[in-house]
């Protein structure tokens, strides 16, 4: 183990469209290099797996080189190599996994194949220190919308609920397309919504009806909302009326933020925890942040959110989770592990 | 001393090791669907069995295809990463060239021949060579019936409906030992095909376009 500050771990992330290399010593961030292929996906209006995979291959070694230079550590001092083993896109995951395995054998270091989603929670250790004994976490991004119960970030995480259809970020992308806005939709809608009336149109809140409480109390659904927005806009257009895009954006965003925050706060109450952690790329959304801050404060729950630069996919979140896993004395992954596109949340370490 | 590791994942998983141009090991695992799982364990095993240390590697040479993309990238990223961290040289070569060199070194290669590999989707990858194993044309991806009527080698020869007469498989030991005789092909995989993805041309009234666009070939 390194002399001070906890295990020194290099983390690799390649589950979707960001290639990330992070280096941490315990909870100290030493390097965080991210190369994004998002610009290459814009014209497709979504992440194209093969395009993302090609970009990972081109970006991996340059990102590694930059991370090593900025951390200024000798790789021979590493206590382990952590890598996203899943969930994510298969072709993208194997690029990072293979790079991690190559580092592990070349440097003779243990390999830790970790869960990407739990990395989104772990990254807050860098900003706000150790987690309480128990907390809830809300992860929202283009790829995920999940509510988690975290008891031990290195071994005991369970899923309370998740989206049963689209992720929140996907709904943003689709609504952005309906409104003629750019991909990715999150920032574009957030900006437009600032000029609109969030109460102008009552869009549906998925899975909030009484009948859904038994089976889907903490699950999300954004597919119906997306369709409702699309139909509403279509109706206006067919009737020859000008579409109030700012009101549509604001009302849509309000529906998303309302249901995300209501269920997250209900989850805290249900679990009896006093801390809620917000992670994932959509955590940067202004309305979600404000509403969640209001609603958690109202019930005395502490809201933790990593700095925006660490909310999107990156290598530091994988490195810090790896470091926590090493510190907890968990057994390294076998060199034979594969990528697991559907890695369950109950699996922290492959 | 020159210690060279050879990696090829353009078909299944192949690893070779050569010292000063002499083959020390040439290994294969016949699995075309588990490159990410099997490659580095095989590399590690080959090094152990040869009693070699990773720090002693002076070069890594990798087959950059053509081949199925996902598997190909596993080999290329592993080679690039190993070379980077070990401060070794790295060289990419056309995988088909290795089979051509193999036939040329066997001494009975015809003056004009073709090496063929499986490109899936009822297509093949192929390139044309002379008796010395020098590439004359290609690599291409085409329907099997567009492969020239010449003697065939390579793992995809039978897909043309004809019988291959040259070496069938990639010899990763030769890839390592013959690294200096193989032409550099860059370090980008030889994809030969563009990524599959539909560009949405106009706004759709019903939103069916998923965030994850159409899957590319594996
Ligand atoms: Zn993510």
Q: How high is the pLDDT of residue B214? A: 36
Judgement on whether residues B117 and B135 belong to the same structural domain of the protein:
yes
ipTM of the modeled complex: 0.93
Judgement on whether residues B88 and B112 belong to the same structural domain of the protein:
no
Q: Exposed/middle/buried for B28, CB within 10 Å: 0-12, 13-18, 19+?
A: middle
B211, A169: Cβ pair inside 8 Å?
A: yes
Judgement on whether residues B147 and B84 belong to the same structural domain of the protein:
no
Domains along the sequence of chain A with CATH: 8-123+314-327 (3.30.420.40), 135-307 (3.30.420.40)
A336 Cβ under 8 Å from any chain B Cβ:
yes
Give the B window 55-74 contacts with A, CB below 8 Å: 69-70, 73-74
pLDDT band of residue B197 (cuts 50, 70, 90) is low
Judgement on whether residues B56 and B79 belong to the same structural domain of the protein:
yes
Judgement on whether residues B114 and B72 belong to the same structural domain of the protein:
no
Number of structural domains found in chain B: 2
Choose the closest CB to B77 out of A95, A142, A336: A95
Judgement on whether residues B10 and B63 belong to the same structural domain of the protein:
yes
A169 Cβ under 8 Å from any chain B Cβ:
yes
What is the number of CB-based contacts under 8 A between chain A and chain B? Answer: 160
Structural domain boundaries enclosing B78? 3-95+170-181
Q: What is the pLDDT along chain A (350 residues), one digit of tens a residue?
A: 444 689 999 999 999 999 999 999 999 999 999 999 989 998 888 889 999 999 999 999 999 999 999 999 999 999 999 999 999 999 999 999 999 999 999 999 999 999 999 999 999 999 999 999 999 999 998 788 999 999 999 999 999 999 999 889 889 999 999 999 988 899 999 999 999 999 999 999 999 988 888 889 999 999 999 999 999 999 999 999 999 999 999 999 999 999 999 999 999 999 999 999 999 988 888 899 999 999 999 999 999 999 989 999 999 999 999 999 999 999 999 999 999 999 999 999 99
Judgement on whether residues B7 and B33 belong to the same structural domain of the protein:
yes
* CATH code, B152: 3.30.420
Judgement on whether residues B18 and B86 belong to the same structural domain of the protein:
yes
Residue B79 domain flag: yes
Choose the closest CB to B209 out of A45, A49, A103: A45
- Residue of chain B whose alpha carbon sits nearest to that of A46: B211
B70, A108: Cβ pair inside 8 Å?
A: no
Judgement on whether residues B88 and B125 belong to the same structural domain of the protein:
no
Residue B149 domain flag: yes
CA–centroid distance, A337 to ligand 1, in Å, is 21
pLDDT digits (tens, 9 = 90+) for B129-179: 999 999 999 999 999 999 999 999 999 999 999 999 999 999 999 999 999
Judgement on whether residues B80 and B144 belong to the same structural domain of the protein:
no
Residue B90 domain flag: yes
- Residue of chain A whose alpha carbon sits nearest to that of B206: A230
Does A91 sit behind a cis peptide bond, omega within 30 degrees of 0 on the bond before it? no
Residues of A in contact with B88 (CB under 8 A): none
Judgement on whether residues B8 and B65 belong to the same structural domain of the protein:
yes
């Amino acid at each position: 183990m390194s002399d001070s500050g906890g295990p020194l771990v290099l983390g690799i992330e390649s589950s979707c469209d960001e290639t990330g290399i992070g280096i941490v010593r315990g909870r100290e961030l030493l390097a965080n290099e991210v190369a994004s292929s998002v610009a290459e996906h814009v014209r497709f209006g979504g992440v194209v797996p093969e395009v993302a995979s090609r970009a990972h291959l081109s970006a991996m070694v340059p990102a590694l080189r930059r991370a090593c230079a900025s951390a200024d550590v000798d790789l021979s001092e590493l206590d382990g190599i952590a890598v996203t083993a899943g969930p994510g896109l298969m072709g993208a995951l194997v690029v990072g996994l293979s790079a991690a395995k190559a580092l592990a054998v070349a440097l003779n270091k243990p390999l830790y194949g970790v869960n990407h989603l739990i990395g989104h929670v772990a990254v807050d250790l860098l900003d706000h220190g150790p987690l309480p004994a128990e907390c809830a976490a809300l992860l929202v991004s283009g790829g995920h919308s999940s509510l988690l119960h975290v008891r031990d970030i290195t071994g005991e995480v369970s899923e309370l609920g998740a989206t049963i259809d689209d992720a929140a970020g996907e709904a943003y992308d689709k609504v952005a397309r309906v409104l003629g806005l750019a991909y990715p939709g999150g920032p574009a809608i957030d900006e437009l919504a600032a000029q609109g009336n969030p109460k102008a149109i009552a869009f549906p809140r998925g899975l909030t009806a009484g009948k859904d409480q038994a089976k889907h109390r903490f699950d999300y659904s954004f597919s119906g909302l997306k369709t409702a927005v699309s139909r509403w806009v279509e109706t206006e257009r067919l009737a020859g009326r000008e579409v109030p895009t700012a009101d549509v954006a604001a009302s849509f965003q309000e529906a998303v933020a309302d249901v995300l925050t209501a269920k997250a706060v209900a989850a805290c109450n249900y679990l009896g925890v006093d801390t809620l952690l917000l992670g994932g790329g959509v955590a940067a959304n202004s309305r979600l942040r404000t509403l969640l801050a209001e609603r958690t404060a109202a019930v005395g729950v502490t809201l933790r959110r990593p700095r925006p630069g660490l909310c999107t996919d990156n290598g530091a979140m994988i490195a810090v989770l790896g470091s926590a896993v090493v510190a907890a004395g968990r057994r390294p992954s076998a060199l034979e592990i594969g990528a697991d596109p559907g890695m369950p949340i109950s699996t922290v370490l492959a | 001393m020159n210690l060279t590791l050879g990696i090829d994942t353009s078909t299944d998983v192949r690893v070779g090791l050569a010292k000063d141009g002499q083959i020390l090991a040439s290994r294969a695992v016949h699995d075309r669907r588990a490159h990410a799982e099997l490659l580095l364990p095989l590399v590690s095993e080959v090094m152990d069995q040869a009693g070699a240390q990773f720090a002693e590697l002076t070069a890594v040479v990798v087959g950059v295809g053509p081949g199925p993309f996902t598997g190909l990238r596993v080999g290329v990223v592993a080679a690039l990463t190993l070379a980077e961290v070990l401060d070794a040289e790295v060289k990419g070569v056309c995988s088909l060239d290795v089979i051509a060199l193999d036939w040329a070194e066997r001494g009975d290669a015809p003056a004009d021949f073709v090496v063929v590999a499986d490109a899936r989707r009822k297509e093949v990858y192929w390139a044309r060579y002379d008796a010395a194993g020098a590439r004359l044309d290609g690599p291409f991806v085409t329907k099997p019936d567009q492969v020239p009527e010449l003697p065939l080698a390579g793992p995809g020869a039978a897909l043309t409906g004809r019988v291959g007469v040259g070496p069938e498989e990639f010899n990763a030991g030769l890839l390592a030992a013959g690294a200096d005789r193989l032409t550099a092909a860059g370090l980008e995989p030889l994809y030969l095909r563009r990524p599959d993805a539909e560009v949405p041309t106009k706004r759709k009234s019903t939103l069916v376009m998923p965030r994850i666009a159409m899957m590319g070939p594996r």
